[in-house]
Amino acid sequence: MHYVVTGAAGFIGSRLVGALNRAGISDILAVDDLENGAKAKNLASVEIEDYLDKREFLSQLETGRLDGGIEVILHQGACSDTMQTDGRYMMENNYAYSKSLFDWSQEEEVPFIYASSAAVYGPGKEFGETRENEDPLNVYAYSKFLFDQYVRKRLAGSTVQVAGLRYFNVYGPNEAHKGRMASVAFHAFNQYRAEGRVKLFEGSDGYGDGGQQRDFVHVDDAVSVNLWLLENREISGVFNCGTGHAQTFNVVAAAVINTAAGTEFSLDELVQKNFIEYIPFPPQLVGKYQSYTQADLSRLREAGYPGEFQRVEEGVAAYVRELLKA
């Protein structure tokens, strides 16, 4: 029986495959779209049983070739470009494709764990997993929001596990292929290596320079929640996946610089020494930017998740140490 991981060559997907391997699982069907061939190296260090293009995978599901052969679907694949304006592509790739996998899993009674996004909350300040808190700002966020709605309407009638994870700002190894959509920590590290400084946005939405706050979560902590759901298949629902603590971009930059340089400078010292530079807030992001996110973990904790999440000072530092080895 195959463990299916979609988006398996991507950021979270590849780390999830690696974690399954460490748990003794290698009968993995990796599903992805390798038009961006740079992602392939994320699979080179892990063990899988087979690989299928995402279109071929869907075709085989529809023709029944995989009936009875799948243990679980871990659906991590999606277009995560929040600046993508092609709504037709986004809805076909993120919404329609996800619906097809979900519908098949329901018919075949196969557990279905999927990636949602904190982008569904938009500019709000409340992050509980309820409809009144959801206000997507772009078509990416809307595609995730609409699929969550599709799932919610069918949860009561489901006889098998269905769980969605609303990832907050994930960072960590295996994200280099994401380009502009890679994490703040990744871009800060590359800026520091290239220029000896990190560029952050000036203040916006009432926040000071570099003071915008996000819930930054290490990819391996996000993977741990997926594994916990695999072990507890009686648990269904849509859950936030973050640390539960908002931290500033300044804190991320400081963790990157101090780890890379082997220093212990304060934020004020980093600014005074020009290690951090504040640049104008881009006008094209006005009204389309989440200046604050913080996962409400109440529902996840009530479901019984016992794991802890790394704060930026710990998680980003560990990530930078890995980047320095590359």
Buried b (16+ CB within 10 A) or exposed e, 268-304: eebbeeebbeeeebeeeeeeebbbbbbbbbebbeebe
Residue 139 burial (C-beta neighbours within 10 Å; 0-12, 13-18, 19+): buried
Beta strands 2-6 and 28-32 are: parallel
Q: What is d(CA 181, CA 249) in angstroms, rounded to the nearest whole number?
A: 16
Minimal CA–CA distance to 38: which of 173, 178, 170, 172? 178
Which of the residues are catalytic? 140, 178
Q: Which two tokens stand for residue 145?
A: 């929001």
